[in-house]
Structure 1
Amino acid sequence: MLYSSKTPAEKRVALRQALAGPGLVRFPGAFNPLSARLIESKGFEGVYVSGAVISADLGLPDIGLTTLTEVATRAGQIARMTDLPSLVDADTGFGEPLNAARTVQTLEDAGLAGMHLEDQVNPKRCGHLDGKSVVDLDTAVNRIKAAVDARRDANFVVMARTDMRAVEGFAAAVDRAKALVDAGADAVFPEALEGLAEFEAMAEALDVPILANMTEFGKGRLHTQDELRDAGVRMVIYPVTLLRLAMGEAERGLDEIIASGTQEALLDRMQHRRDLYDLIDYEGYSQFDDTVAGFTVTKE
């Protein structure tokens, strides 16, 4: 009932343990707090909060228009509704290295288990679009150093994302990733790798976990969990999958209402009211309310 039964500190420990253990840690992207509850109910290991999804939810393109306040607010709303650890996309840290330091502390306060910072020029572009630019090595390294130095909970995961693969090639991406690990990054998100061989080579080159971004309609093939695990990937995100599914069904539903004048034909494609009530624990709230309303003060 209400929010998560676990503290942010407990979730951060859980994320650290998951990354240190065997197997692939799966993080579907939540587009709102309710979808985070659904992800947890299906048995996944974590929840991802995508910057692209937050932008889209606000009706904006993913080009660095969102603010730290907007991201922290939405990510915090999502993180507090699930016992799973939540990882958030912190873009470029919303400014210079000092802004990255503020970002990590703000996201700690919001209850996140970790974040990733990228090495794109600010304002950034979606990782699977052309025309990206990356910052110089010193700037990229200083962003990570600032975030690592500023965090107050040592278990909060600071992940480095590099977009170098699409800009200067795979070898340059490996070199950049190594430098970011040397700067203190706990894990690496190498964006837009091409094929399992590159994932495997990146994993072998680094002594920290790497993340695979399995976003639809991007530059890479949608690899299976087994393929990624065998290639040495430790974490996979599905950042926009649920939003795309929801918006696709919403569009088709509106078209059906226009065409037939009723939503009758859509009922078997909807989440039933009883399933929604189970997901938000309606019964738990009702029982709690009864205990409060039924409480009496004994007068002596």
Structure 2
Amino acid sequence: MTKAKRMRELLNGDELIVSPGVFDGYSVRLVEQAGFKTASTSGAAVSNSRFGQPDVGIMGMLDNAQAVAHLARSVSIPLMADADTGYGNAVTVHHAVQYFEEAGVVGVNLEDQVWPKRCGHMEGKQVIAAEEMAKKLEAACNARRDDDFVIVARTDAIAIGGIEEAVRRAKLYEAAGADVLFPDAVRGEDDIKALRDAIDIPITVNMGFGIRSRPTTPLIPLPRLSELGVKRVSLPRMLPAAAMHAMRQALTLMKQSVETGETIDRPDLLFGIEDIMELMDYPKIRELETRYTTDA
């Protein structure tokens, strides 16, 4: 069974799909090791970690497709990708879908922001005309070579035109062939209910853990999201935020060690070398070496 078909089975199943956001080889392998059935790349996290740049359209299509290709081939679970706006018009969407499909991911998010886009919870977002986005989604569906490849239509309209505009767009996007609707920055249960009542395709939402200020989307318990009819929940910033927090903590301790001359070792805060070797499957390399290398 292909990974794309497996993703379709999950979308058609009864269970809520919990999809942690990943951004590098460590994070995607940890998600698989933890037993999650799928993962999704965070465009912001890939842009931030790979290029040291904010998520404002600096990372291009080929940069993104190349990055996710390495992640997709390193795990056996289905991996979805964030393809931003498709990097332009319907023609670039056509090529973007084919590049990402060739990269080995099982589907892409395509959003209705203007290009260059802005990270979903930033102020100052703008959206293109709904009819133009519908044509981009039509192009995406026609460009895929495998019908199981999932086209996720993301709309940022709630923050700009309110839930009524998001519902109008959701209906257009469903008619254009989108497989899943992703309303970004939903403001609560009422928004989810309005969208769920308006369309028949699955709905996916983001939950942003660790936001200290008042979050755009309130945290809703996973069982409740399932009751509301949400099919998939992505957690785009949980793992990159956890990694950054841990790295800052380690660097603070090392700086303290430099300043005091005291050796500070905190194994409780660190992954052991054995853990890393197991995660990255070094035993597989030893097996291949044993099988194929000669005594010479």
What interval of TM-score do these two structures reach, taking the shorter chain for normalisation?
over 0.9
Structure 1: unaligned runs, 5 residues or longer: 1-8
Deviation at 1:263, TM superposition (A): 6.5
Counterpart of 2:150 in structure 1 is: 157
Structure 1 residues 49, 13: closer, same or farther in 2, change over 3 A? same
Counterpart of 1:36 in structure 2 is: 28
User: TM-score scaled to structure 2, two decimals?
Assistant: 0.94
Query: Percent of pairs identical after alignment?
Result: 35
Is 1:197–1:231's contact at 8 Å kept on the other side of the alignment?
no
Distance 2:265 2:195 in 1: 49
Does residue 45 (structure 1) correspond to residue 61 (structure 2)? The answer is: no
Matched residue SS, 2:110: strand
Instruction: State how many pairs are aligned.
Output: 288
Counterpart of 2:19 in structure 1 is: 27
Structure 1 residues 263, 144: closer, same or farther in 2, change over 3 A? farther
- Code of the residue aligned with 1:52 in structure 2: it is A
Matched residue SS, 1:94: coil
287-296 or 173-182, which moves further after superposition?
Answer: 287-296
- Code of the residue aligned with 1:24 in structure 2: it is L
Deviation at 1:285, TM superposition (A): 1.4
Distance 1:243 1:87 in 2: 17
Distance 1:263 1:274 in 2: 22
What do the CA deviations read for 1:230-258 (whole angstroms, capped 9, x no partner)? 11100011112111111111111111111
Is 2:38–2:77's contact at 8 Å kept on the other side of the alignment?
yes
Matched residue SS, 2:266: helix
Counterpart of 2:245 in structure 1 is: 248
Counterpart of 1:271 in structure 2 is: 271
Deviation at 1:45, TM superposition (A): 1.6
Distance 1:146 1:127 in 2: 23
Deviation at 1:294, TM superposition (A): 4.8
- Code of the residue aligned with 1:190 in structure 2: it is P
Counterpart of 2:8 in structure 1 is: 16
User: TM-score scaled to structure 1, two decimals?
Assistant: 0.92
Is 2:31–2:39's contact at 8 Å kept on the other side of the alignment?
yes
Deviation at 1:11, TM superposition (A): 0.4
Counterpart of 2:292 in structure 1 is: 292
Deviation at 1:265, TM superposition (A): 3.6
Structure 1 residues 221, 265: closer, same or farther in 2, change over 3 A? farther
RMSD of the TM alignment (CA)? 1.5
Distance 1:136 1:198 in 2: 21
What do the CA deviations read for 1:165-191 (whole angstroms, capped 9, x no partner)? 000001110110110010000000000
Distance 1:115 1:103 in 2: 9
Matched residue SS, 2:115: coil
1:47-66 map, 5 Å: 47-57=39-49, 58-66=51-59
